[in-house]
Amino acid sequence: MLFCAITYLYPDPNYMSQSPHLLSNEQLIEVFALTKTATAIHVGEDAVIQTANDAMLKIWGKDRSVIGKSLEDALPELKGQPFIDMFKRVWLEGLTISGTDTPATLEIDGVLTTFYFEFEYRAIKDATGKTICVLHTAIDISDRIIGREAIKRAEEKARALEKEQALNEELAASNEELAAINEEFQQSQESLRSLNMELEARVEDRVKEVRESETRFRTMAEGTDIYIAVGDESSNATYFNKAWEELTGRPMQELLDFGWADLIHPDDKEAYVNVYLSAFEKKKPFMGEFRILSKKGEYRWLLASGPPRFRPDGSFAGYISSSIDITDRKQEELEKQDLAEELIAINEEMTVSNEELLSANEDLVITRQQAEKAELSLRMAIDAARLGSWQIDPVTRELSYNTMLAKLFGYEGTEPMTYEQALGQVIEEYRPLLMEAIDKAITDHGNYDMTYAQHRFSDGEIIWLRSLGRVTPDETGAFTIFSGFVMDVTELKRDEQRKNDFIGMVSHELKTPLTSLNGYIQILQSKAKKTEDPFTTNALEVASKQVKKMTTMINGFLNISRLESGKIILNKSEFRLDELIADSVKEMLLMDASHLITISVHQPITIHADHDKISNVVSNLLSNAVKYSPNNREIEISCTIADNAALVRVKDQGMGIDAKDMEQLFDRYYRVESNHTISGFGIGLYLSAEIIERHNGKIWAESEPEQGSIFYFSLPLA
């Protein structure tokens, strides 16, 4: 480092004293020019160079041309250096400024170079103390300075070298250490790298494994119809599989956001959530049942269970729950429960009915005893009434009967009498009728009532029997019982026969005088015509009508007796029914003109029948219409063809017939009770029905009280 010191020297007053032996100014300047000490004299503030010796010019690196120039002009490179200002101060303040080891930068041969100087700027004053010039001396000590600096630098260098060497040694040592460390480091880096690689591979494998296991889990969870869900450690659901989505009809996100638990049936929710949460607290497996609302809007029963999940570090991670649909099983359970309850109820009922049965049984014993008693008395009554009882199996026609029947039939065989055997005894005329009646009762499940004659087994004697029966259902509801009674009506029949014979005989006997009476009336009528006696004519007319009425009545009885004794014979011929009707009406009007009778026949109708007997039927119906309707009421008779049959219809506007009487209207001797003031025997409709049936025709009536009656009969066309 260069040290620079500036000393301010005050002027010496003795310095300017003159002597006569002194050299001239030019000499002085010459001498001065030769001095080795570089010297220059400056004047004025700007340090105009008054003179400068060669040494100074050399230092400056200039020639004599600088003389007369200001310091700044002569040495422009001094600008910015302190020297110009120093000169100024020295000049102005009359100071002396000196310095050692002072560096100054000068331009020598066009090159700026720094030199070191010992210098002095001394103000030279006159006697008044006024500065007249500044003496400038300078010695170039650059070499000295540079040498010193070089030594200093060499020393420093040596020191530095030493230091460096020590450092180098230290460095070498530490380098060696470092190399060793480096080697170690490299080795550990190597092993770290391979460890890292191993770890990376392991991590990659683990990630792959996790990814694979997750994929496997998802594939498995998505592909199954088991409802799988995953929950995390805060009991939040994080995953629902496709089965869940399909069951609830909601995408997974919605199930997560919406809160799947709200789909649980309100009755099951609390219980299930409690099961789940208590398992959750203990981190234990859970299992529970609940109903969940499906997309179809119905509840399905699910059985859910799940183990807790733990991470590899042992921390709890939540649950994987799997649920299965147990609706069917639940349904079965419910049904079983219902069934069990029902069974219990039935059992209770059974116990009650058992008790009831017990008491009923006791009643039954009493009833049976009573029934046995009743049966015994019935049997006794049947025996007393001489009633034979029978039963026929409707399918097999197997016959069973009581002893009274066997007695009535005169059957003495050791083997039980068969149905065929019994039928074989029936008189031929009645057998088909009887068989037909039995068949009809069996097929129609109806009543059976037949009176017929048969030969007694024991002596072949004809006996009359009335058999009554009915087909009744058994306890299963099947019509398997055809049973009834049979009674011996031979005596009754004989009485009737006698009565019929009597009626026949009486009628016959009555007819003979009546015929002669009629003959005489006709003779008298022809005689009265000649005399023109109106009274006689009228009286004979009345007499003739009465005789006709009587004849009709007697014919009726005669026909009855003939019918009963089976002596009625049909004399069939072909004739016009329409004409018969017209004749009957004419005859009716001749006898009784109290009613208006209209005939409605639109075509000729021919039938093959007994003319007189059909005429009797028509007359009977017309006379009933007249008899049972007030005078002057209209009576209509029509004859048409319907269903290949001739249909005759007689309609009156009379008193009509009560429903209860309709059934028996065609029975022998049946008369409506309230009509007893109107004369009659109740044989007209009976005879008419017999006649029509024997012609294979049908007869029936329609009537309502006070609404008039309509009687119909139909006969096959010829």
State which residue, 442 or 672, has the beta carbon closest to ligand ADP.
Answer: 672
Rounded to whole angstroms, what are the CA distances from 202 to 310, 312, 602? 21, 15, 122
Distance in angstroms (rounded) separating the CA atoms of residues 639 and 60: 186
State which residue, 121 or 711, has the beta carbon closest to ligand ADP.
Answer: 711
State which residue, 70 or 709, has the beta carbon closest to ligand ADP.
Answer: 709
SS3 content of the chain, % helix, strand, coil (to 5): 50, 25, 25
DSSP 8-state assignment for residue 428: T
DSSP 8-state assignment for residue 45: T
Binding site for ligand ADP (CB under 6 A): 624-625, 628, 652, 654-655, 657, 665, 670-672, 675, 680-686, 709
Q: Alpha helices of 37-141 — where are they, by DSSP H?
A: 54-60, 71-74, 83-93
Which H or E element spans position 175? helix 142-223
Contact 115, 2 (CB under 8 A): no
Distance in angstroms (rounded) separating the CA atoms of residues 417 and 406: 8
- Outline where DSSP puts E strands in 232-297: 237-240, 286-293
Strands 286-293 and 299-306: antiparallel
State which residue, 107 or 636, has the beta carbon closest to ligand ADP.
Answer: 636
State which residue, 540 or 665, has the beta carbon closest to ligand ADP.
Answer: 665
Smallest gap from residue 509 Cβ to ligand ADP (A): 22
State which residue, 145 or 655, has the beta carbon closest to ligand ADP.
Answer: 655
Q: Amino acid letter at 140?
A: D
Within 13 Å, how many C-alpha atoms sit on residue 595's CB side? 27
Which H or E element spans position 370? helix 327-384
Cα of first residue to Cα of last residue in the chain, in angstroms, is 180
Smallest gap from residue 638 Cβ to ligand ADP (A): 15
Structure-block tokens of residue 104: 């100054």
Residue identified by tokens 């398997």 is 480
Distance in angstroms (rounded) separating the CA atoms of residues 437 and 451: 11
Burial of 169 (0-12, 13-18, 19+ CB in 10 A): exposed
State which residue, 486 or 585, has the beta carbon closest to ligand ADP.
Answer: 585
Contact 556, 669 (CB under 8 A): no
Listed residue (605, 682, 660) closest to 637, CA to CA: 605
State which residue, 260 or 711, has the beta carbon closest to ligand ADP.
Answer: 711
- Outline where DSSP puts E strands in 577-654: 596-601, 606-610, 634-642, 645-651
Smallest gap from residue 620 Cβ to ligand ADP (A): 6
State which residue, 4 or 678, has the beta carbon closest to ligand ADP.
Answer: 678
State which residue, 245 or 652, has the beta carbon closest to ligand ADP.
Answer: 652
Q: Alpha helices of 630-683 — where are they, by DSSP H?
A: 659-662
Smallest gap from residue 664 Cβ to ligand ADP (A): 9
State which residue, 72 or 634, has the beta carbon closest to ligand ADP.
Answer: 634
User: By Cβ distance, which residue is nearest to ligand ADP?
Assistant: 680
Return the biggest CA–CA distance within the chain.
256
